[in-house]
Amino acid sequence: MKLFGKPAQKKAQEGKSTTCRLALLSSTLLWFIAVGAGLSFLWSYENAPGLAAAAPSRWPNDSRIKPAPGRATLVMLTHPQCPCTRASIEELDKLMAHCQGRVNAYVVIMKPRGFAADWVETDLWRHALRIPGVSVLVDDDGIEARHFQAATSGQVILYSPDGGLLFSGGITGSRGHSGDNAGESAIESLINAGSANSDHSLVFGCPLFNPDSECRKGSYEEVGN
C-alpha cells in the first residue's frame, strides 16, 4: 500500500493545482470582461450627445435678454447641478478671451420651480461670474431655455448683431472634457472673421428638464420640491 500512496498523493496535488490555476484564470478573465464592459459604457456615455436645440432663426422677442446693438450675442443655457457643464464653462472662458469686445455673452442658469435661490450657486455659477464680458442670469422655471428651445445643459446659441441665428451647438468635444473642439472653433471664427465652416455642433450635457437625469438626480432628492 505504501508503494502506491505517494504517486496517488502527487496526482491529487497536481489535480488540485490545475483546478486552482483554472479558477485563477477564470477570475482574471471575468475581471477583464468587467473592466472592458465598464470602459465601454463610460466611453459610450461620454460620447453620447444630448438633444440639440431647435433654436429660433431670429432672436426671440419674448426673451428678457436684450442684445446690445452692433455686436453678436451669445447665450449659453445651463443647469447648475450638471457636472458635464463645468467643461463648457471652461471653454466659454477661453472663447471670451479670444473674442474680447466683439460679443456679448450670457450664461443662463435654470432654477426649477420651488427651489431656493441659493440652489443655483454652484461652482459652475461662480466660475461664470468670473468670466469677463459674461452676464449671469437665473432662469426661473426654464422660461428662457424654452424661448431658445434648448433641451441640454451647455447649449450655446449665437446671434448676429441684426438678430439672425449664426450658430447652435455645444463647445466641448464630449461630456465633461475640455479641449479644442469644432463648436468653439466655429463660434470664434464667426465672431472674429465673420464666417465659419459650420453653423452647428453636438451638445454634450445633462437634460435641462429631466429630474431623473443621472447627472443631477441626487440634487433633486437632496433639495426636494
Find cell 450675442 and name the residue.
73
Cell readout for 146 is 424654452
Dump pLDDT digits (tens) for 194-216: 999 999 999 999 999 987 665 54
Dump pLDDT digits (tens) for 34-71: 544 443 433 344 457 799 999 999 999 999 999 988 99
| Residue ranges covered by each domain of the chain | 1-46, 72-222
Which superfamily does 72-222 belong to? Glutaredoxin (3.40.30.10)
Kindly tell me the sign of the dihedral angle through the C-alpha atoms of 43, 46, 51, 53.
negative
Res 220: pLDDT? 43
- Is 0.85 topped by the overall pTM? no
Res 135: pLDDT? 97
What is the distance between the alpha carbons of residues 128 and 215, in angstroms, rounded to a whole number? 20
Provide mean pLDDT across the span 95-101.
Answer: 94
